[in-house]
A and B are shown apart, each in its own frame.
Chain A
């Protein structure tokens, strides 16, 4: 089996380095950061923290050098999906492409370029600490399922899930992957921008009752949009929010969007709250709070 991970930031690297441990999987890593690519080809791709792994995927910043692959795993930031898949689609003419990205709309963007798409969502997290080296902060589960309008075949999804699980990334092949995906989207959309707008860590957002009520208002809108599409959440995002607020989990965690704002990088707001608003509009569900938060973070980006 040949797999190409498209975008080897933190999450992409977790998949690439772990999959590269398997004898029966040949892993390619496509990334635009030449320094990172060179480090991977020279020293391997190293994970440390929650797991210590060195994998040896073949890395390239030149998409034209990619061979035909059975699977793609897209792991770029959501705003780069279209460009990344447009550049690499030729490698997936006969393959299936999964997304493990944040937010809504990635599957749609991928499906504009490839025929068989796997909906996905993943909970592990980390950060790139140096070229070729990723700190693995949190282990977690991944769910794959068909992207309904352009689905990958069931046995292909199972095959990829089985390989990921065997590589140390526990993955479920589900009939409907939208439940976990929307749970994570609602979690992210209801907490990340609040951290970004206020400067507070996740734990401090949750211990301020009026602010926690605003988070719940955002969650309720997200749940209503999911319900209108017939999506059954696999668990209540509120539980995840409260769990993450515990001192031993992520009380002091600065949401990635807050990190983006502090570094004045574009955020994923269009694919989180913007995505909930868009799906809400399509299904006749009002999302005034998500719309407001979306506009505020867009305004924040425009102030730079």
Chain B
């Protein structure tokens, strides 16, 4: 099964390097100099795994061979550009999304009729350069069929990822995991972006009135009410995910916090926006999630 990874941030780089140990991998980058760097130096992985992989890279979608699998690993804000680059190409591929939030699959679907696979990844890494990624958390990637894709196809892809040395699991229904992560991200990333706090013990503190943990809890509870009304039974409790993550010791900087500090567009639309729109669709009040969504949007507006 040959593969293309579109987007070589930390998640894309981890997929590309690992998959390159078991199959031919083409990396589709946004920047030409990034592709050149990968072609010249390959991809180095450090941290939990330590190896170097050879990959082919290009920033020109016209150079893509017809692969069997495309993993769209851009940030949520980059899916539109990646999907339009794929439009009319790779007719034999199954396309898999792994973005935060909801809605990446629909964006891809608008650009082609490929079989689609939904993914949620909990692994994490830090990119040290265009050709070096550190593998930090080896938590799994869960994938499931989208829009009628055969489950056997999903299982084959999961097996490929596992053979490549990463953790993956095929689930017949991904929505429970996707929603658990959606509620977790909407809450934790939004609060981090607004307060400037990394995901640390403050997010679980419920000792004194005014502690941040109460707000985090209330935001999670709103999200859970939306999920329940949407008929989704969550895979994990987002509050417990939050508490567990804050106990890991090293405080994680959610990407939305890094984005607002660098004055970059955030993933707020596909995360918080998606949750707020789902709340409206199923008729559940979500005033606190709505407030966080509006505040992060306004924070983006303050860049200019």
Counting from the closest, the 5 A-B pairs by CB-CB distance are A299-B195, A303-B196, A199-B302, A295-B215, A198-B298
1/0 per position for A281-293, CB-CB distance to B under 8 A?
0000000110111
Q: A289-B288, A291-B215, A300-B195 are in contact. Are A208 and B210 (CB under 8 A)?
A: no
Residue B297 lies at the interface, judged by CB distance under 8 Å to chain A = yes
In angstroms, Cα B195 to Cα A114, docked, is 38
A289-B288, A295-B210 known; A198 vs B218 contact (CB < 8 Å): no
**Is B295 positioned at the interface, with any CB of A under 8 Å from its CB?**
yes
Kindly list 20 other residue pairs between chains A and B, CB separation below 8 angstroms, not including A211-B294, A295-B215, A299-B191. Answer: A197-B298, A198-B301, A199-B302, A211-B295, A214-B291, A274-B210, A288-B218, A288-B288, A289-B287, A291-B215, A291-B218, A292-B291, A296-B215, A299-B195, A299-B196, A299-B197, A299-B202, A299-B215, A300-B195, A303-B195
User: Is the beta-carbon distance between A296 and B191 smaller than 8 angstroms?
Assistant: yes
Residue of A nearest to B276 (CB): A210
Report the interface size class on chain B. 20 to 34
Q: How far is it, in angstroms, between the C-alpha of A302 and the C-alpha of B202 when the chains are bound? A: 9
Q: In whole Å, how far is A38's beta carbon from the nearest beta carbon of chain B?
A: 37
One digit per residue, 1 when the CB lies within 8 angstroms of any chain B CB and 0 when it does not, for chain A 177-205 equals 00000000000000000100111100011
A270 at the interface (CB under 8 A from B): yes
Name A208's contact: one of B202, B215, B218, B298 (CB within 8 Å).
B298
A interface, CB within 8 angstroms of B: 194, 197-200, 204-205, 208, 210-211, 213-214, 217, 270, 274, 277, 288-289, 291-296, 298-300, 302-304
Nearest CB of A to B19, in Å:
38
The majority secondary structure among interface residues of chain A is: helix
Contact with A along B164-207 (1 / 0, CB 8 A): 00000000000000000000000000010011110000100000
Q: Are A197 and B299 in contact (CB under 8 A)?
A: yes
Q: Looking at the complex, which one of B210, B212, B214, B299 makes contact with A198 (CB distance below 8 Å)?
A: B299
- A217-B287 in contact (CB<8A): yes
Q: How far is the CB of A60 from chain B (nearest CB, A)?
A: 35
Q: Which residues of B contact A294 (CB under 8 A)?
A: 210
Query: Taking each of A194, A292, A294, which has the highest tally of chain B beta carbons within 10 Å of its own beta carbon?
Result: A292
Minimum distance in angstroms from A301 CB to a CB of chain B: 9
Is the pair B298, A205 in contact by a Cβ cutoff of 8 Å? yes
Q: Known A214-B295, A295-B211; judge A198-B302 contact (CB<8 A).
A: yes
Contact A292:B197 (CB < 8 A) given known A194-B295, A208-B298, A210-B294:
no
Residues from chain A with a CB closer than 8 A to the CB of B297 are: 210-211
Within 8 A of A (CB), among B263-304: 287-288, 290-292, 294-295, 297-299, 301-302
| Contacting residues, chain A, for B214 (C-beta < 8 A) | 291, 295
Within 8 Å by CB of B298, from A200, A270, A274, A293, lies: A200
